[in-house]
Every structure is written in structure tokens, then in C-alpha cells.
Amino acid sequence: MIKIGILSFAHMHVWSYATCLKKLGAQITGVYDDDKMRGKKGAGQFEAKYFADYKKLLSTDIQAVVVGSENSRHKELTVAAARAGKHVLCEKPMATSIEDAREMIRACEENNVKLQIAFPCRYSPAARCVKQMLADNKLGKILAIKGTNHGRMPGGWFVEKGKSGGGAVIDHTVHVTDLMRWMLGKEVKRVYAEIDTRFHKLKIDDCAMITMDFDGGIFATLDPSWSRPNKSYPFWGDVTMKFIGTNGTLDLDLFNQKTTLYNEEQLKAAWTYWGDNIDFGLVKSFLDSITDNTPSPVSGYDGLKALEVAVAAYRSAKIKKPVEVPFK
């Protein structure tokens, strides 16, 4: 049985990862969180011990950790875990700067531990089907891709730039960028972006339009906006991609396994997702890589390349010109 520590429940997805860990037979033995109330809640829910100091948790006999803190603390916690000899599953975005992401990769390599980035969208059966179709050349040569990752502004530390590193762009860009890289087997070479705040009264971005040029002449557009401000509008799961090829087109709606529920009492609609649990696939692959001693299926390098696009988008919007990647 693999023993796991949770380094913060600050990110909402970590509750799902912890549930999946329990279902897969892993033992969550310790929880660290700088928010004592949140940490004790998580420790109680998953029958673990609460630690107010993450160094004390890392000194126990756990084999791995899930880093679910605010984005700005990913580097600190990942590097500390690596130096303690613990494998790491880190929430996205990998970090808030390219330098921090590279340091995380170095620390894990130097200490011979695995670093996996939480990109669960790769574990969608629909996404895997599309990847196989592209590998089989079903659409011919891919010319362009149109992507979206819309959502609702999450509030809290997500809109505090010092903790999040940015708004909708850094929050939503990395998921779809990772899918595009993974499906195409190609890298982004150039990014152009226009970024603004249009939907909320914030001091941080909530909308954007990003254009990416890939190897081989493929270009892609992505709308990663927090553009669901109306509380009555269904919003969860709006990751879509449209592929244009020389032999045809293909539409992917990653979370379309859902039922639309109209609630008369609350006077609102909601999407009730009933499809495959992609978090389960992500967590299982992490545990399998530890048990089988195989490379992380979603590596630190994958996290870095997705982060590069988000950082390049902010830079492009600032100078109003395309930005070359990778950064030197």
C-alpha cells in the first residue's frame, strides 16, 4: 500500500484526487495545510493526521505527495518533497514562472523522484480517441485547431495575482495547450494574445484570445475565459476543440456526457456530469508509475511547455506582438 501525504487542499480539485486515492487503495496518512480549518477538515474526511508544518509531514514514511496549494507555493512544496525523497503529483499550472518550473524539474531529477502534473483531461476516453484518430491520419494533414476552456470566475486566492500568478489565462490555458501538444506530438513555437478584464470587476484578467503556431505550420486559437458570470448558467465542463484537416473536420466536447437539470426551486439550470472520472485515471497513472517504476505519464516537462504558452501570452499582450517560445 502506497502512503500519501496531501500538501494543502487550497485547490478544489485536490478533494477529488484524494477521493480517488482512497478508492485505489492508497493510504492518506497526513495532511498539511496552512489553513488550519481546511487542513483539519481534509484530515478528518480522509482519516489522516493533520500537520501544521509540512516539513514534519515530509519526515514521515510517506512515499509521495499531492501538491494542491496556491499556485505560487507549488515550487516551494515540490522542491521540499523532492529533497525529502517523495514522489510528487502537482496541481496545474505547474508554477507561476518558467524559472520556478525548471527548478521543480531539476529538484525531482536530482533526487530521483517522479514529478507528474495534474492534466486529467488526457484521461478522457474522447480525448484518447481523438489522439488515436490523428495518429492514424484519419483527418489528413491538420491545418488548424479551435479550442475553448470557458468557466466561472472561482474567486478566493485565484484572483490574487501574488498567489495565482494570473487570472483566467494561467488558470485555463494550460489544460488545452497540453491536450494540443499531446495529441499533435508537436511543440508551440509562437504565441500571440489579447487579454483583458471584461466580465468582472477585478484587477486580474478574466478573458483572452490566444493564437499559437505549432511546428509543421499548424495554428490554433484558444479562448480560456472566465466568461460564465451569470450564476444561473451551467458552466462546468466547457473544454472543446475543433480540428480542421485536409480530409475532414472533427469536433471534441470533452465533458458532453452530462444531463441538463432545470431546478424550479433555485430557478437555475445545471449540468450533471455522468461520464468517465478523468481524475481517477490521472491518479491511477501516478500510483502505477510509482509501483511499476515507470516514467511519469504527464511529466514536469509537459507542465513546463504548457506554462510557457501562458507566460508567453501575458508577455505578448503586454508588448502587443507575437512572442517566440521556448524562452531562452
pLDDT tens track, the chain, 328 positions: 899 999 999 999 999 999 999 999 999 999 999 999 999 999 999 999 999 999 999 999 999 999 999 999 999 999 999 999 999 999 999 999 999 999 999 999 999 999 999 999 999 999 999 999 999 999 999 999 999 999 999 999 999 999 999 999 999 999 999 999 999 999 999 999 999 999 999 999 999 999 999 999 999 999 999 998 767 676 667 899 999 999 999 999 999 888 888 877 777 777 788 889 999 999 999 999 999 999 999 999 999 999 999 999 999 999 999 999 986 6
Pairing of strands 115-117, 239-245: unpaired
- CATH superfamily for 123-276+307-324 is Dihydrodipicolinate Reductase; domain 2 (3.30.360.10)
- CATH superfamily for 3-113 is NAD(P)-binding Rossmann-like Domain (3.40.50.720)
**Whole-angstrom Cα distance, residue 41 to residue 310?**
33
Surface-to-core class of residue 250, CB atoms within 10 Å of its CB (0-12 exposed, 13-18 middle, 19+ buried): middle
* Residue from 224, 179, 181, 229 nearest 201 by CA: 229
Side chain identity at residue 60, one-letter code: T
Other CB atoms within 10 Å distance of the CB of residue 328: 4
Pairing of strands 3-7, 27-32: parallel
Q: What is the pLDDT of residue 233?
A: 72
DSSP β-bridge partners for residue 64: 4, 87
Q: What is the pLDDT of residue 328?
A: 63
Q: CB of 13 within 8 A of CB of 279?
A: yes
* Residue from 117, 114, 8 nearest 68 by CA: 8
Indicate the SS3 state at residue 170.
helix
**Beta carbons within 8 Å of 262's beta carbon, 6+ residues apart:** 269
**Whole-angstrom Cα distance, residue 16 to residue 309?**
27
Q: What is the pLDDT of residue 235?
A: 66
Q: What is the pLDDT of residue 266?
A: 72
Question: Model pTM greater than 0.85?
Answer: yes
Size of the chain, expressed as the number of residues it contains: 328
Q: What is the pLDDT of residue 274?
A: 84
Q: CB of 273 within 8 A of CB of 257?
A: yes
**Whole-angstrom Cα distance, residue 102 to residue 158?**
23
Q: CB of 26 within 8 A of CB of 47?
A: no
Q: Where are the domains of the chain?
A: 3-113, 123-276+307-324
Question: How far are the Cα atoms of 61, 180, 325 from residue 113, in angstroms, in the given order?
Answer: 15, 27, 28
CA 87 to chain CA centroid, Å, is: 18
Name the grid cell of 51. Answer: 500537520
**Whole-angstrom Cα distance, residue 147 to residue 221?**
6
